């Protein structure tokens, strides 16, 4: 991916062709062997690191004029610091194996038009003192760089995490193997959010076809031609999200007591289905395996030509299981009370909210988000705009 990106981006290719040691790592642009003078008046080499803003498979206008640096603070010939660079002297871990020592700021009046201009400007400032002493001191080494980038689950670089400097947080999700049981309204939105994370695998379980009413409570916009084809939900959704995430696997089936073995090997499961008997078998299997999960649900009814609704998410981990049955938080009955949601009222916003709350809870469980309450069930009541926590730790 790195070589393809460099070849398709005129500014990166220009840097490489000029002899700079260009590397793409974790959504960042690295240029190595940049010579500089340190405070002891000795020539050293460091590495410039820049965020990388992309438009598809090539670079876009740099998102910021600031760069990072791995090395000591560059100095003038007399050993004084180059003040034109001053920004922050703070060591920071940007991604696994990528720790910077400081950041620099030098902004032209009109900013930088591309990464070639940005990098060469900083190289000129940093390296000028060293080059004035030793003509062989140059960042143009023409060294061939072999990318150390591991196989990514994404079709293209996640520059959103690198721009926000949260790669080290996102890395906590890499080992996750996610199951989504039921990819109707809520399950489809769960997929939408999970597909944007670097999880190792995403498994979709649903036997139903993607029909016209599904189009109105799922993310995106299905074409008439696609609806006429009546694709299975899992195939339709994989076709969309595999454009971003490579590791999406489909299972055209409902999970029942006879097929719970399909859940083996998953690290976390989102249960987005209504059938109580099957849900009971799924939860018992997940508990047996020690697998954490989130169950989602909602109830909607019509009162005086307005809709009332409650959205619920209930989580279960190896540390806390008993609350589900003791507090009757999840129904295991197939005889559900009649509600308007079952009659296909289009409420994509509540589906999206239910999914977002479930995904946020998953991210709390794995340590992506801070969790002060550690609640294991919560409900959002629509008409009074109230979010309540239940079964939380004090």
Residue ending a domain, choose from 96, 123, 154: 154
0.85 surpassed by pTM = no
Residues 113, 182 share a domain: no
Long-range contacts of 124-129 (CB under 8 A, 24+ apart): 125/74, 125/82, 125/84, 125/85, 126/34, 126/35, 126/36, 126/46, 126/48, 126/69, 126/74, 126/82, 126/85, 127/34, 127/35, 127/36, 129/36, 129/37, 129/74, 129/75, 129/76, 129/77, 129/82
Residues 138 and 246 in one domain: no
Domain interval for residue 225: 174-390
Choosing from 154, 182, 205, the residue where a domain stops is 154
The answer to the question of residue 325 being in a domain is yes
Report if residue 348 sits inside a domain: yes
Choosing from 154, 188, 205, the residue where a domain stops is 154
Tell me the pLDDT of the chain (394 aa) as tens digits: 577 788 889 999 999 999 999 999 878 999 999 999 999 999 999 999 999 999 988 999 999 999 999 999 999 999 999 999 999 999 999 988 899 999 999 999 999 999 999 999 999 999 999 999 998 999 999 986 654 555 789 887 777 777 677 888 998 999 999 999 999 889 999 999 999 999 999 999 999 999 998 999 899 999 999 999 999 999 999 999 999 999 999 999 999 889 999 999 999 999 999 887 889 999 999 999 999 999 999 888 888 989 998 999 999 999 899 888 888 888 887 654 444 444 545 589 999 999 999 999 999 999 999 999 999 999 999 999 999 998 776 5
Q: Are residues 150 and 188 in the same domain?
A: no
In a domain, 247, yes or no: yes
Indicate if 178 and 150 belong to the same structural domain: no
CA distance 320 to 337: 28
80: in domain: yes
Distance CA 27, CA 14 (A): 19
Residues 101 and 243 in one domain: no
Mark whether 276 and 143 lie in a shared domain. no
196 and 93 share a domain? no
Where does residue 148 fall: left (phi above 0), alpha (psi -120 to 50 degrees), or beta otherwise?
alpha
Do 215 and 237 touch, CB atoms closer than 8 A?
Answer: no
DSSP 237-249: HHHHHTTTBS-EE
Can you give the CATH number for the domain in which 313 is found?
3.40.50.720
Query: Does residue 288 sit in the same domain as residue 211?
Result: yes
Domains of the chain: total: 2
Quick check: helix, strand or coil at residue 392?
coil
């Amino acid at each position: 991916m790195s070589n393809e990106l460099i070849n398709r981006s005129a500014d990166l290719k220009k840097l490489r062709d000029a002899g700079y040691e260009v590397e793409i790592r974790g959504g960042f642009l690295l240029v190595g062997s940049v010579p500089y003078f340190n405070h002891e008046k000795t020539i050293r080499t460091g590495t410039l690191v820049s965020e990388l803003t992309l438009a598809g498979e090539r670079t876009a206008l740099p998102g910021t004029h600031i760069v990072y640096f791995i090395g000591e603070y560059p100095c003038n010939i007399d050993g004084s610091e180059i003040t034109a660079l001053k920004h922050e002297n703070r060591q920071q871990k940007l991604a696994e194996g990528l720790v910077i020592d400081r950041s620099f700021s030098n902004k032209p009046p009109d900013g930088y038009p591309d990464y070639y201009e940005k990098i060469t400007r900083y190289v000129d400032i940093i390296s000028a003192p060293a080059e004035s002493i030793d003509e062989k001191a140059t960042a143009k080494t023409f060294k061939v760089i072999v990318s150390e980038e591991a196989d990514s689950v994404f079709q293209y670089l996640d520059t959103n995490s690198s721009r926000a400097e949260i790669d080290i947080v996102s890395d906590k999700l890499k080992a996750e193997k996610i199951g989504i049981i039921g990819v109707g309204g809520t399950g489809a939105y769960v997929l939408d959010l999970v597909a944007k994370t670097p999880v190792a695998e995403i498994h979709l379980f649903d036997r139903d076809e993607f029909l016209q009413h599904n189009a109105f409570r799922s993310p995106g916009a299905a074409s008439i031609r696609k609806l006429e084809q009546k694709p299975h939900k899992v195939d339709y959704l994989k076709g969309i999200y595999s454009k971003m995430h490579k590791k999406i696997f489909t299972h055209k089936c409902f999970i029942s007591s006879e097929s719970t073995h399909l859940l083996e090997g998953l690290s976390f499961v989102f249960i987005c289905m209504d059938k109580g008997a099957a849900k009971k078998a799924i939860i018992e299997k997940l508990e047996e395996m020690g697998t954490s999960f989130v169950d989602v649900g909602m109830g909607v009814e019509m009162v005086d030509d307005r809709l009332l609704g409650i959205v619920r998410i209930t989580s279960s981990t190896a540390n806390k299981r008993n609350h589900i049955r003791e507090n009757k938080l999840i129904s295991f009955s197939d005889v559900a009370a009649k509600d308007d949601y079952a009659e296909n009222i289009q409420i994509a916003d509540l589906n999206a909210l239910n999914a977002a709350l479930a995904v946020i809870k998953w991210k709390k469980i794995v340590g992506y988000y801070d969790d002060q309450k550690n609640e294991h069930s919560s409900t959002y009541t629509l008409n009074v705009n109230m979010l309540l926590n239940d079964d939380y730790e004090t």
